[in-house]
A and B are shown apart, each in its own frame.
Chain A
């Protein structure tokens, strides 16, 4: 009868991973940076542009098809966009955090979703939606916030360590890992090992400046050498498929996560696509609690360093 001990052990490990008590500060830093970065990032887009798109390129995604949602006028889109920016800024400073983060989620679902109906899906945006969702349902406003300053949070975050501050960060790890793993498996399903052994990546690299805007012309030079391109393709695939290791092993996390960001940066340099949203969401991998302890005064340091080791 080993079933029950095994189940109990699994449950213990599950809870230890997702609900390990940690201070509020780490999640709060993630909130501040996440909302500040995306409030600025989405400033560049004018959603009013969507009011004018031809019907022939409107390819509704399932929520818009199911709810029969259409594109409103430019003035409405512009108003919604500014409301979204405002709620993101409010969530950033932690003003009525739960409400502002929830409204930012709803408006983000609508506005980001709206762009996905146009011609083709932008695969960089989904991680933002998950980030907004995590912020809306978590206690991300318990520290570094106007709410905390006004005494609006339930308990004093300075003295509290709680699993509620751990799972939101790790949920973003899960989202990140799932995206790369799924991308790797899809490559195998679609093209098999030919994704590595054929001239696929060499062609992509040589044609990079035609379809994108890589930062350098190095990709074209690498593309001239099929063997070098295949080695890069093999490394990419291995890295994507090994992404889940970052969830189960601290050592793997220290290797796999920086390697993934290096790969992402290489794609920008050699091939063109920026995937800026992924770089911004990389902030969830930084152990902010440990960083905070490292630079804070001794009197606020936690007696339990393990608790802050995200």
Chain B
């Protein structure tokens, strides 16, 4: 087997060292240094409870029917777990930004489903779920509270 010249092995050896050292620092400090990470997903112990947010729209015609406005995990960057983290940040932050976010959710819904009924209101709920092995299904919603409700002026989802 031929031995690579210093010139040829420099780039790979530098990359190897970078990957190992960067990952080691991220692991030891338990901090994100993107693209290095301690990969902490699922590492923290999960208790029997979890909280989730959900956004629903209420159509002008049927005030009691709530239409889920969850962003599609397949087509959106802000979807799934990231969307839940974003909503948690917004609920604790500036109410105007939460308002913008909720109106944006209604606007996207109207763009994606032009034949759906016009939305009049948007509601944000926080739910608490419990794992109960004896029940079916074992994930049970124990609390659902209204966190925020906004009215869309004129029933138009892109109103302010």
Contact = CB atoms under 8 A, between A and B. Distances in A.
Interface of A: 15-16, 18-21, 44-47, 49-50, 52-57, 59, 61-63, 113, 115-116, 118-123, 125-126, 129-130, 133-134, 137, 163-164, 167-168, 171, 174-175, 178-179, 182-183, 185-187, 189-191, 194-195, 198-204, 206-213, 217, 220, 223-224, 273
13 contacts: A46-B75, A54-B98, A57-B85, A57-B86, A120-B86, A122-B82, A130-B35, A182-B39, A186-B39, A191-B45, A195-B43, A200-B46, A213-B80
B81 interface: yes
Contact of B131 (A125, A194, A206): A206
Nearest to B11: A137
B104 A121 contact: no
Contacts of A200: 45-46
A166 to B, nearest CB: 9
B77 A57 contact: no
B114 interface: no
B109 to A, nearest CB: 14
B143 interface: no
Contact of B76 (A49, A171, A198): A49
A44 B75 contact: yes
B15 A15 contact: no
B148 interface: no
A61 to B, nearest CB: 5
**Nearest 7 CB-CB pairs, A to B?**
A183-B39, A54-B97, A206-B131, A56-B93, A126-B35, A119-B86, A190-B43
Nearest to B38: A186
B41 A183 contact: yes
Contacts of A195: 43, 45
Interface in B74-125: 74-78, 80-86, 89-90, 93-94, 97-98, 100-101, 104
Interface string B128-152: 0101110001110000000000000
- Of A21, A54, A123, which is in contact with the most chain B CB atoms at under 10 Å from its CB? A54
Nearest to A213: B73
Contacts of B42: 187, 204
Given A19-B4, A119-B89, 11 more contacts: A15-B4, A21-B1, A57-B86, A61-B32, A63-B34, A163-B8, A164-B8, A167-B12, A186-B43, A206-B132, A210-B50
A203 B140 CA distance: 12
A18 B82 CA distance: 38
A63 B52 CA distance: 31
Contacts of B63: none
Contacts of B132: 206
Interface of B: 1-4, 8-9, 11-12, 15-16, 19-20, 23, 26-27, 30, 32-48, 50, 52, 73-78, 80-86, 89-90, 93-94, 97-98, 100-101, 104, 129, 131-133, 137-139
A21 B12 CA distance: 15
B78 A182 contact: no
Nearest to A18: B12
Contacts of A183: 39-41, 43
B104 to A, nearest CB: 6
A116 B37 CA distance: 12
A121 B27 contact: no
B37 A121 contact: yes
B50 A20 contact: no
Given A119-B89, A130-B35, A217-B137, A199 B20 contact: no
Given A44-B75, A171-B12, A211-B52, A126 B1 contact: no
Contacts of A273: 41, 81
A211 B90 contact: no
Contacts of B9: 15, 18-19
Contacts of B11: 137
B2 A21 contact: yes
Contact of A61 (B34, B41, B138): B34
A61 B101 CA distance: 22
